[in-house]
Amino acid sequence: MKLLQINNLKTTFHIEAGQVQAVRGISFHVDRGESVGIVGESGSGKSVSMLSIMRLLPENAKIDADRLTFDGTEIMDMDQKQMRRLHGNDIGMIFQDPMTSLNPLFTIGDQIMEPIRIHQKLSKSEAKKRAIEVLKMVEIPSPESRLNQYPHEFSGGMRQRVMIAIAISCNPKLLIADEPTTALDVTIQAQILDLMSDLKKKGNTSIVLITHDLGVVASMCSRIIVMYGGEIVEEGTTREVFYNPQHPYTWGLMRSMPKVTEGEKKKLIPIPGSPPDLLSPPKGCAFAARCEHAMKICTQMSPVPISLSESHRAACWLMHPKAAKVERGVGS
């Protein structure tokens, strides 16, 4: 059974200038024990779509979906109490910036024990035991003494470990990691990713990994969702997306990714232009303005997703039988 099912999710922010359509009708699912990567540049709607599911957006956001179910229950119909059960207990969340995600005025112990005490109804000493246990799981040395320390006494990487410890403390069914390594330096990034892979292997937790780094996804996820301008432009297994990418935006993402394996020095090719203004989204394909293969129809009509296999689909007019064949720009 599918753990998370999203059908036609739309998230709109009401601001003075109008309505920002941050997420424009996306549909996907996450299976049990599966890890899915959501890739896209800043402003593509990756984080907003996940925060929509958690209903953690500010008040000016309006969420609309045909279906939004977690473990068979409709999230949109949940009351505050059910939502709180979902938060922290069923779904754990790791945020981008570990420097600001922990409350500076409470000890690490307090903050880890909080969800444990709320959801598992454990006593203080039992919760403390569990907190030490999860700190050990995220490989923080001497957890007993660390419990009484404050966030400012931890380094960035250590804080992100604490955030992960909080997220996994109640054995969630789903772990949402919103760019968990973006704010960390490269060596720490690798450690955190290793840690997450280990945790994934040990438990039966599904993971949604939000990132703009395709490399991170390749090592962690079995499936990839590529988002652009609030829409899903391509979706498939990691193998399918990496070896047979269909959307020019995916090509662009891959070209802009450094390849460590290549001996020769090769310049990265950036994607020119900037993401579309979602206050007034373009009529046709959102990527058309930046696409080197854009055709006349691209600016007039939105492309319909075309399936290449059971798991692989992409939305691009180039896939239309009548479109001219173009040289795929992945750079072989």
Residue 254's identity, in one-letter code, is M
H or E stretch covering 187: helix 186-202
* In the complex, minimum distance from the CB of residue 114 to another protein, in angstroms, rounded to a whole number: 6
Closest alpha carbon to 75 in 129, 168, 4: 4
Closest alpha carbon to 120 in 88, 81, 163: 88
Q: Which string of x and - marks every residue 173-202 that binds another protein (by CB under 8 A)? A: ------------------------------
The yes or no reply on residue 239 touching another protein (CB under 8 A) is no
Strands 73-74 and 67-70: antiparallel
* In the complex, minimum distance from the CB of residue 229 to another protein, in angstroms, rounded to a whole number: 24
The structure tokens listed for 170 are: 């109640």
The yes or no reply on residue 121 touching another protein (CB under 8 A) is no
Among 12, 49, 52, 89, binds another protein (CB under 8 A): 89
| Alpha helices for 57-185 (secondary structure H) | 80-85, 98-101, 108-120, 124-137, 143-146, 156-168
Among 14, 18, 42, 56, binds another protein (CB under 8 A): 56
Strands 174-178 and 206-211: parallel
Among 2, 85, 136, 212, binds another protein (CB under 8 A): 85
Among 101, 160, 246, 302, binds another protein (CB under 8 A): 101
Which CB, 166 or 285, lies closer to another protein? 166
* In the complex, minimum distance from the CB of residue 79 to another protein, in angstroms, rounded to a whole number: 12
* In the complex, minimum distance from the CB of residue 296 to another protein, in angstroms, rounded to a whole number: 44
The structure tokens listed for 3 are: 């753990």
Nearest-angstrom CA–CA distance, 80 and 155? 34
The yes or no reply on residue 279 touching another protein (CB under 8 A) is no
Among 74, 106, 129, 194, binds another protein (CB under 8 A): 106
The yes or no reply on residue 105 touching another protein (CB under 8 A) is yes
The yes or no reply on residue 102 touching another protein (CB under 8 A) is yes
Nearest-angstrom CA–CA distance, 233 and 261? 28
Largest Cα span, the chain: 68
The structure tokens listed for 202 are: 């040990």
The yes or no reply on residue 119 touching another protein (CB under 8 A) is yes
The yes or no reply on residue 122 touching another protein (CB under 8 A) is no
Rg of the chain on CA atoms, in Å: 21
Which CB, 16 or 327, lies closer to another protein? 16
3-state secondary structure of 62: strand
Which CB, 176 or 241, lies closer to another protein? 176
Beta bridge partners of 228: 231
* Residues between 133 and 172 with contacts to another protein, criterion CB under 8 A: 150, 152, 163, 166
Nearest-angstrom CA–CA distance, 277 and 287? 11
Strands 306-307 and 313-314: antiparallel
* In the complex, minimum distance from the CB of residue 331 to another protein, in angstroms, rounded to a whole number: 37
Among 88, 236, 248, 252, binds another protein (CB under 8 A): 88
Q: What residue ranges bind another protein (CB under 8 A)? A: 54, 56, 80, 84-89, 92-93, 95, 97, 100-106, 114-115, 118-119, 150, 152, 163, 166
